[in-house]
Amino acid sequence: MSFHYPFRACAVLAMAALAAAAVVPAPARAQTANAALGDARADAPKSEAVKSEAARPAGAPPAGAGSTAAVQHNPAQKGIAARAVDKVRDIFARVPCLPPKGAGKSMGSLPHVANRLIAGQPVMIIAFGSSSTQGYGSSAPEFNYPNRLAAQLKRQYPTSDITVLNRGKGGEDAPEMMRRLQAEVIDMKPDLVIWQVGTNAVLRNLDQAETARLVDEGIARIQAAGSDVVLVDSQYSPAVNAKSEGNSRMMKLLGKVAELRKIGVFPRFEVMRDWHEKQAIPVEEFIISDGLHMSDWGYACFAQLLGDDIIKSVGQIKLGIAVPSDVRAYRPM
């Protein structure tokens, strides 16, 4: 089953846009339009509200910690913005990004981020993890999840100074990440750390109890430095599903750590499984040919749903709504 909507190659661009709008459900059309307009504003030369680090291009060999890359404003910027808008519009026209049904709970409280936004202070977010944070599989750096998340937060908080740093390094799991935690995360004094971890431990048959212990230690250090933390679990993909028993055990261990530390978990595995099993989206729409890493659409939809949860959590605090500390994640089941 394919969700690619047919377009005539000879049709003019305007007709293609109308055709896309006609076949996408109303909520998805609005969502697509918002994403496209937001991206145009995100890349506009006069706007510097969010600075997002560009990850290493897809397929490049993993390197050490990336450096911050602010948007460089030049005469070609408008063309770059236009191309980005067209690409994102195409991504969501082919397969609309819809949240899992029944996903009503927030992933928990993010007090440091919320309080800084309320006070009008700069906010720094660090995306920490391995290749799916780095962006392996995306067609360009702007389509990895940290950059897509930055664009979404910019749309939501246009007057805020929000920086999203990509600290993903392909091939790593908890042992390697712990060695660079201090210099590349804690020393940056982030307000929020989004930590994607555990998949490589499953794929390599590492000691999962030791992995969980290291993650617990890392979270404790991040919290002691005054940062909010959100964990991101494994991706639903053929390579991970082939290790289903180990993956289930790893996710349970991470869930226990999150419960102990009273932090949020974004249930990426369940969200992606919902795409396939309940929304009938073919796996090849969100996973590339290596059977593990996400496509442009996969990264974009993951970032959007993660961003929605962050925005909801921050909004509840800004409105004075008490969020129970044991609410760690929404459950799409």
Q: Which domains does the chain have, with CATH numbers?
A: 48-70+86-318 (3.40.50.1110)
The answer to whether 122 and 116 have CB atoms below 8 angstroms apart is yes
CB-based contacts of 185: which residues, under 8 Å, 6+ apart? 126, 128, 167, 193, 222
What band does 100 get if pLDDT is binned at 50, 70 and 90? confident
- Residue 284: per-residue pLDDT: 96
Residue 59: in which H helix or E strand, if any?
A: none
Mean pLDDT on 95-99: 85
- Residue 92: per-residue pLDDT: 67
Q: What is the percentage of the chain residues whose pLDDT exceeds 90?
A: 60
| Better-scored residue on pLDDT, 175 or 101 | 175
What band does 54 get if pLDDT is binned at 50, 70 and 90? very low
User: Which of helix, strand or coil describes residue 14?
Assistant: helix
Q: Is the pLDDT of residue 228 over 90?
A: yes
Q: Is the pLDDT of residue 236 over 80?
A: yes
- Residue 239: per-residue pLDDT: 98
Mean pLDDT on 102-116: 76
Picking from 314, 242, 61, the residue whose alpha carbon sits closest to that of residue 169 is 61
Rounded to whole angstroms, the maximal C-alpha distance in the chain is 59
- Residue 27: per-residue pLDDT: 37
Q: Is the pLDDT of residue 59 over 70?
A: no
The answer to whether 291 and 238 have CB atoms below 8 angstroms apart is yes
Q: Is the pLDDT of residue 15 over 60?
A: no
Q: What is the pLDDT of residues 157-212, one digit of tens each?
A: 999 999 999 999 999 999 999 999 999 999 999 999 999 999 999 999 999 999 99
- Residue 118: per-residue pLDDT: 87
Beta bridge partners of residue 228, listed in sequence order: 192
Q: What is the pLDDT of residues 268-308, one digit of tens each?
A: 999 999 999 999 999 999 999 999 999 999 999 999 999 99
- Residue 152: per-residue pLDDT: 94
Strand 162-168 and strand 264-266: the pairing is unpaired
- Residue 61: per-residue pLDDT: 38
- Residue 330: per-residue pLDDT: 34
Mean pLDDT on 56-69: 39
Gap between the terminal Cα atoms of the chain = 23
Q: What is the pLDDT of residues 28-51, one digit of tens each?
A: 433 433 443 344 333 433 334 444
Give Cα separations from 219 to 97, 101, 309 (angstroms): 30, 30, 20
| Better-scored residue on pLDDT, 140 or 1 | 140
- Residue 49: per-residue pLDDT: 40
Q: What is the mean pLDDT of the chain?
A: 78
Written as one letter, the residue type at 325 is S
Q: What is the pLDDT of residues 237-248, one digit of tens each?
A: 999 999 999 999
CA pair distance 227, 190, nearest whole angstrom: 6
